[in-house]
Structures are given as structure tokens and as C-alpha cells.
């Protein structure tokens, strides 16, 4: 497997060879059910640059959230991490492969909450209804930072005042059901960041919120990212949020990363046909009400089905018969710092194709009366 997302060449500003807070390498997560094995994550490799935000996007069920939970080793049963490496480079700690720790080991528990925090999609259900906000935040602090309850309360109050909640001291004794969704998500962020983790896993944190609240929550996250100096892995299917929040983006399809690039690169010239299709399906302002929204043809294959070749080829407008449905492409660097897993961008042997060759190839496909090809831009 390739080491990503550090491109060997390119215009990335960070120069250190590897300065990712977390490197996920060749991660496989499987769910063994009575109906068969679901390979939810099927060889994912990605890295979260230190102090930066990595967006992970893709359709529902593509394995985004499972990847995040796998980093915490909190994949719900019957899911198991079948293979892979998760290298954590926390401040003041030697790099360690988290998968060498047992799921329930003290070592792993010392990482959860302390070095990696997590926030979830549903703020309405993410906090325990039976305990006050203060109690739930102080609980995490007491676990990792201090054993003095008074000090833990003071720290909890401090972090609560940072997430932009009104009268934080009153909130300490407030129960979750007394707060609105946006306030709960702020409280949840305060909880996840109470121990100043190196990495925040945000699993669709704004999906359940209205747009105004969403913008405020994103602001809070960015501010605290600066303040604590942490990295964020932002799982979402909202490309608008990605453009706003992220430095790098990894696009997932059916348990694999199909493309990882800087956010500008990805939005300017998406490489993978799936990414391009995703981009086209964003509604455009000013496109007129007559214009129909583009959709990605077909639907995600059943979770138990096994496809030969590239997982996207049945839905891909540019699929090359005899290649894409036979061989599975690997995630390989292409010229300008991005990584793509597609035979349009490199030969089955692994050497990159020139952009001209890609265009020529696409044209030949159109000429042959095959699928329609829309140019990336």
C-alpha cells in the first residue's frame, strides 16, 4: 500500500516527511452477520495532517463512520477490525500502532478521550439524559487530567465557556433535555475537547442541525482547533461543509478511498469519475429551475455482493470494458499531489497516464458510442 497522503512531489506547504497525527494504513473492517460478511471498510489508507482538517466524504454506507469508529477501536459488534494499522502520533508520545492495543485495554482507554475525541451526528442522543452537562464533562476530565473534582469542575466550566454557550456556570447543572440541538452539539464539542485531544473525529456533526446553527458550530470547531492546535477528521456527505472546513479531502466509495487531494485541487479538478459525479450532483445557484439536478446513475450494490474489478465500474460513465471490470485499481499518486484510484489516471501496471492520454481515452470512449463523458470542469 502507498503511504498517503504525503505526496512525494507537489506544492504542499508542509515539508516534514510524515507529520500526520494519525495514519490509517490498509484498514479492513468486517461485520460478520448471519447473512454473510459485510466488508464495510476494505483497505482504507488515509492520513490526517497535524493541525489540519481532513474531510472524509461519500454516500451513506460507504464506510466513513466505520473508519472513524475503527480509529477509536469502538466498532460496534459484530464488526471487527480484520487487518490494518492505525498509527497515532500524539504530542509527547512515541508513535504507536493503536491496533496493537486491545480493544478494552487500559492503554486504549487512555487514548480515548485524551488523545482522540469524538463527536457524533445526533446531538439529541449523544449526551446521557440522566446526568448534568457538568457531570458528563467533568467525568472525562477526572479520567485523564486531574483527580480533584473541584479542579475538574473548573476545567469543565472553562471549556464550556469556550464553545459559545450562554451562562456556562448554569449549564454545569443543566440536563441535556433542557438544551436545544445546537446547544447540545456545543456541549458535546466541549465534552470531546475537554482533555485537549490531538485529534477530533467528527462524525457528521452538523447533519442534524439547521444551516444557521451548522455555520455557528463550524465556527466554534475552527476556533477551538486553533486554540488547542488539534487536527480534525471530518466525516460528512456535505460537500459545502467540506469546502468550508477542510484542508484535505478523502473521497470514499464502498469501503475504499477513491481519491484524496487538497480541497482546492479536489474542487477545481476532481479526478475520479465518482468524485466528478458527486460534484455534478451539487445544486448550483443560478442554474435555473428548469435544469434538472444531476444524479449518479445506478445505486450502491448490495452490501453482501462481491464485485470484480473497480467497485464503481457498474455506475461509472467512463468504465473501460475489459479493464475496470476485471482488475481492481490501487490508490496511487498522480502528477499534481493528489491520489486517485482509477485506471483512467494510471495504467493497470501502476504508471500514471498523462492528462492528455486521459482526455484522448475519454474521447475515444465517446466516439465508440459508449457512455457519455463530461469533462471534469
Partner 1 sequence: MITFLIRRLLFMVVTVVFISMISFVLIELPPGSALDAKLQQFRSRGLNVTSDVVKSLEERYGINDPIYTKYWKWISRAVYGDFGQSFYLDQPVSSLIGSRIWFSIGMSTAALLFAWLVAIPVGVYSATHRNSLPDYLITVMQFLGVAIPEFLLAIVLMFIASWYFGVEVGVLYSKAYRDAPWGVGKLLDLLSHLWLPVVVIGTHSTAWLTRVMRANLLDVMGAQYVQTARSKGLGERVVVWKHAVRNALHPLVMALGATLPALISGEVIVSIVLNLPTTGPLYVQALINKDMYLAITFLLFLSILLVVGNLLADLALAWLDPRVRLE
Confirm if 247 and 49 have CB atoms less than 8 A apart: yes
Does residue 122 belong to the site contacting partner 1 (CB under 8 A)?
yes
Q: Which residue has the cell 443543566?
A: 174
Choose, by CB under 8 A, the member of 8, 16, 35, 130 that binds partner 1: 130
Size of the chain, expressed as the number of residues it contains: 377
Does residue 111 belong to the site contacting partner 1 (CB under 8 A)?
yes
Does residue 64 belong to the site contacting partner 1 (CB under 8 A)?
no
Residue 22 CB, nearest distance to partner 1 (Å)?
A: 15
Rounded CA separation 169/167 (Å): 6
Does residue 72 belong to the site contacting partner 1 (CB under 8 A)?
yes
- Classify residue 165 as exposed, middle or buried by CB count within 10 Å of its CB (0-12, 13-18, 19+): buried
Does residue 172 belong to the site contacting partner 1 (CB under 8 A)?
no
Choose, by CB under 8 A, the member of 129, 283, 286, 302 that binds partner 1: 129
Choose, by CB under 8 A, the member of 89, 114, 186, 345 that binds partner 1: 114
- Classify residue 28 as exposed, middle or buried by CB count within 10 Å of its CB (0-12, 13-18, 19+): middle
Rounded CA separation 2/204 (Å): 27
Choose, by CB under 8 A, the member of 8, 16, 35, 76 that binds partner 1: 76
Choose, by CB under 8 A, the member of 24, 70, 140, 277 that binds partner 1: 140
Greatest Cα pair distance, the chain, in angstroms, is 74
> Which contiguous run of DSSP H or E holds residue 350?
none
Choose, by CB under 8 A, the member of 128, 226, 281, 364 that binds partner 1: 128
Choose, by CB under 8 A, the member of 14, 33, 125, 281 that binds partner 1: 125
> Which of these, 300, 341, 340, lies nearest to 60 by C-alpha position?
300
Q: Which span sits near partner 1 by CB under 8 A: 9-17, 140-148, 164-172, 233-241?
A: 140-148
Cell of 239: 460537500
Contact code string over 248-267 relative to partner 1, x by CB under 8 A: --------------------
Residue 119 CB, nearest distance to partner 1 (Å)?
A: 9
First vs last Cα of the chain: how many Å apart?
A: 30
Choose, by CB under 8 A, the member of 57, 133, 165, 192 that binds partner 1: 192
Rounded CA separation 138/358 (Å): 56
Residues that bind partner 1 (CB under 8 A): 69, 72, 74, 76, 104, 109-114, 117-118, 120, 122, 125-130, 136, 139-140, 143-144, 175, 177, 188, 191-192
Amino acid at each position: 500500500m502507498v503511504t498517503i497522503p504525503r505526496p512525494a512531489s507537489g506544492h504542499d506547504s508542509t515539508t516534514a516527511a510524515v507529520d500526520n497525527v494519525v495514519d490509517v494504513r490498509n484498514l479492513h473492517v468486517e461485520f460478520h452477520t448471519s447473512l454473510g460478511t459485510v466488508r464495510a471498510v476494505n483497505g482504507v489508507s488515509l492520513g490526517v495532517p497535524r493541525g489540519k482538517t481532513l474531510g472524509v466524504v461519500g454516500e451513506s454506507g460507504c464506510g466513513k463512520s466505520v473508519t472513524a469508529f475503527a480509529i477509536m477501536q469502538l466498532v460496534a459488534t459484530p464488526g471487527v477490525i480484520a487487518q490494518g494499522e492505525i498509527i497515532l502520533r500524539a504530542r509527547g508520545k512515541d508513535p504507536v500502532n493503536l491496533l496493537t492495543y486491545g480493544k478494552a485495554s487500559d492503554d486504549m482507554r487512555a487514548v480515548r478521550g485524551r488523545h482522540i475525541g469524538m463527536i457524533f451526528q445526533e446531538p439529541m442522543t449523544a449526551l446521557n439524559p440522566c446526568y448534568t452537562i457538568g457531570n458528563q464533562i467533568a467525568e472525562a476530565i477526572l479520567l485523564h487530567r486531574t483527580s480533584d473534582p473541584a479542579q475538574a469542575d473548573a476545567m469543565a466550566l472553562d471549556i464550556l465557556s469556550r464553545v459559545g454557550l450562554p451562562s456556562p456556570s448554569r449549564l454545569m447543572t443543566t440536563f441535556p433535555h433542557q438544551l436545544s440541538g445546537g446547544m447540545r452539539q456545543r456541549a458535546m464539542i466541549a465534552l470531546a475537547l475537554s482533555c485537549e485531544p490531538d485529534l477530533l473525529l467528527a462524525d457528521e456533526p452538523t447533519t442534524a442541525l439547521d444551516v444557521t446553527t451548522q455555520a455557528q458550530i463550524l465556527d466554534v470547531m475552527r476556533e477551538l482547533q486553533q486554540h488547542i492546535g488539534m487536527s480534525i477528521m471530518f466525516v460528512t456527505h456535505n460537500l459545502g461543509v467540506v469546502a468550508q472546513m477542510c484542508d484535505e479531502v478523502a473521497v470514499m466509495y464502498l469501503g475504499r478511498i477513491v481519491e484524496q487531494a487538497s480541497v482546492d485541487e479536489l474542487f477545481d479538478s476532481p479526478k475520479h469519475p465518482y468524485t466528478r459525479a458527486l460534484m455534478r450532483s451539487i445544486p448550483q445557484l443560478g442554474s435555473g429551475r428548469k435544469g434538472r439536478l444531476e444524479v449518479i446513475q445506478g445505486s450502491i450494490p448490495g452490501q453482501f455482493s462481491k464485485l470484480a474489478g473497480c467497485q464503481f465500474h457498474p455506475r461509472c460513465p467512463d468504465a473501460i470494458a475489459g479493464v475496470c471490470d476485471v482488475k481492481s485499481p490501487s490508490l496511487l499518486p498522480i502528477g499534481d499531489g493528489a491520489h486517485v484510484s482509477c485506471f483512467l489516471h494510471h495504467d493497470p501496471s501502476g504508471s500514471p497516464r498523462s492528462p492528455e492520454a486521459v482526455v484522448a481515452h475519454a474521447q475515444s470512449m465517446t466516439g465508440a458510442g459508449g457512455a457519455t463523458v463530461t469533462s471534469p470542469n
